[in-house]
Amino acid sequence: MRTDLAVDSVLLAILALSVGLGVYQLDWGLPNGNLSWAADALGPVTVLGIARRCLGAWNSGWFYFKYPLGYPLVLLAAYGPYLALQVLSGALRDPHGTYPYGFADPERALFVLALIGRAVSVAAVTATVALTYGIGRRLCDRVAGLLAAGFAATAYPFVYYAHTTNLDATYAFWLILALWSAVVVAQESRRVWAWALLGVGAAMAVSTKEQGFAFLLPLPLLAVVWGLPTLDGTQPGWRAAVRGTWHRGPLTMAAAAIGTVLVANNVLLNPAGFVRRLLYLGGRPVPGVTARLAPVEFGLFKGVVKEWEYGGQLFDALESSLGWPLLAVAAIGALWLVWRRRPAAAFLLLPALVHYYVSLRTLDLITLRYTLPLLVVAAVCAGAVCADAMRSKWRHAALVPVVGLAVFGLARAVEVDLLLRDDSRYQAEAWLASHAPPTSTVEIYQKPTYLPRLPGMTVRAVPLPQRTVTGLAERRPDYIVLSSASKRSITHRWNPDWRQGRTLLVPEPGAVELLRALEGESLGYRPVATFRQTPTLLRLRITSLCPQITVFARG
């Protein structure tokens, strides 16, 4: 059996680096109750509420419309020891859904739970880096694996999502676990444990985020049919591969996948909720559910303009994540693998292409976080071509750009941590604390996610219909705080059914007029402070990271 995750001092250093990048500033934006500065992060109260509703009664039919239950249940398991300690110490009694939720010290409890949740993300990212090494080593060699692990560890989206309780880091981990397991199975088809891991990883990936199904589709087929070259370089062929896998391995994979889906989606306790969620995802009306329909629509070909737009969105996300030098090397590496290592190219590129064509293209917008699994594929491609270049007759010339790529990636990763440390919202908080009287009234139009924390002040979150010039004149707040992040949410509402008008957002005329007049300083308010950060090495495509904050004061 190969020991691709065996002790390797260089790998341990890369993993330590990954942990360090994730742990530094882990308390970014905390304490903040159940809120977070990361968009779409799951707060502790949200997780506990999901657990209460999905585990509290038999076959209630309830389901969490936003995501499957896999990630909330993982967080609940991580919370378990701390919650048990709270109960045993008397600090948690009679849990309920309103503040203080049954905690004797709710602010501290929620702070600790948020940190525990973020620690899960750090562990997921670090494990993903380790698996990247394992994939690179098995498909190529140790040097390729180490370079790939280093590239993945310093990709700034992984560093960022390690600091959040977004499901994206854990989702990427399960997908890459399935990919690594498929590679192991292809090379050592009688390793039943690898078949089981393939089933568990695939099931947990789709139980965390259904979007990952397309990435997984080719893996069992590749594992069974293709196989990889043996150590002497011969290729067994697909018939021999099929004969070699005709044993309990595939059955173990299927059993592990089915069992994991049943547990991770709470099917045994609430089968009706599982069915209702499937109906919701299929666009079918579900009684009692008013959540907006996600913009998902598959098409074999959506027209030249739309396909060009999708390609541009994908390139934009990958270039932002990796930087153009590493992305260019990864593209060269993909072509290199197709030419020199076709089985390796199949295991890397086929899942990525199917994921893009079947899954990402069904969405109206391909955002950066949707491409996290593709970063691992790109890292292995880049590691493979760099490793081969360092063994070629041009190895001395290749060493300089390879080291440059590694240093550039590390510098970008460090810059993310510095942006978290010096977040513009911290600066806005400090300014308001020193300039705004405690009795001040502050008006906001966006989610608290994108705004500074405002403890001790009277904060008015104004609903969209009331965001008008007349309404502002009647309320007369002392301050108005705006963020550059999600700015359209000030003036637009979500379209309940994106198919009506083929648009996600619908403008509210009164709010549009208010924002235009406010920024034009025609309402008696003027900007008194602006806080921004300008990255040096990064072209950010994460809305929640260091937005510009503008404070308007009356008079």
- Residue 16's pLDDT is 98
Instruction: Give yes or no for a contact between 478 and 442, defined as CB atoms under 8 angstroms apart.
Output: yes
- Residue 496's pLDDT is 65
The phi-psi region of residue 40 (left if phi > 0; otherwise alpha if psi is between -120 and 50; otherwise beta) is left
Place of tokens 């591969």: 241
Return the SS3 of 296.
strand
Rounded CA gap, 234 and 248, in Å? 25
- 362 closest CA partner among 498, 541, 261, 176: 498
Return the SS3 of 553.
strand
Instruction: Return per-residue pLDDT of the chain as tens, 555 residues.
Output: 455 555 689 999 999 999 999 999 999 999 999 999 999 999 999 999 999 998 888 998 888 988 999 999 999 999 999 999 999 999 999 888 889 999 999 999 999 999 999 999 999 999 999 999 999 999 999 999 999 999 999 999 999 999 999 999 999 999 999 999 999 998 887 788 999 999 999 999 999 999 999 999 999 888 877 654 443 344 554 455 455 445 678 889 999 999 999 999 999 999 999 998 888 887 777 777 666 656 667 788 888 998 999 999 999 999 999 999 999 999 999 999 999 988 889 999 999 999 999 999 988 789 999 999 999 999 999 999 999 999 887 878 888 999 999 999 999 999 999 999 999 999 999 999 999 998 899 999 999 999 999 988 899 999 999 999 999 999 999 999 999 999 999 999 877 665 565 566 788 999 999 999 999 999 999 999 999 999 999 998 998 999 999 999 998
Phi, psi at 515, each rounded to 5°: -65, -40
User: What does the chain come to in residues?
Assistant: 555
- Residue 294's pLDDT is 63
- Residue 374's pLDDT is 97
Contacts of 11 (CB under 8 A, 6+ apart): 130, 133, 145, 146, 149
- Residue 365's pLDDT is 84
Stated pTM of the model: 0.92
Cα torsion angle, 466, 467, 470, 472, sign? positive
- Residue 228's pLDDT is 47
Rounded CA gap, 404 and 409, in Å? 8
Return the SS3 of 419.
helix
- Residue 188's pLDDT is 84
Measured from the Cβ of residue 204, the count of other Cβ atoms closer than 10 Å reads 26
Return the SS3 of 552.
strand
Instruction: Give yes or no for a contact between 549 and 425, defined as CB atoms under 8 angstroms apart.
Output: yes
Place of tokens 């007049």: 517
Instruction: Give yes or no for a contact between 254 and 390, defined as CB atoms under 8 angstroms apart.
Output: no
End-to-end CA distance of the chain, in Å? Answer: 74
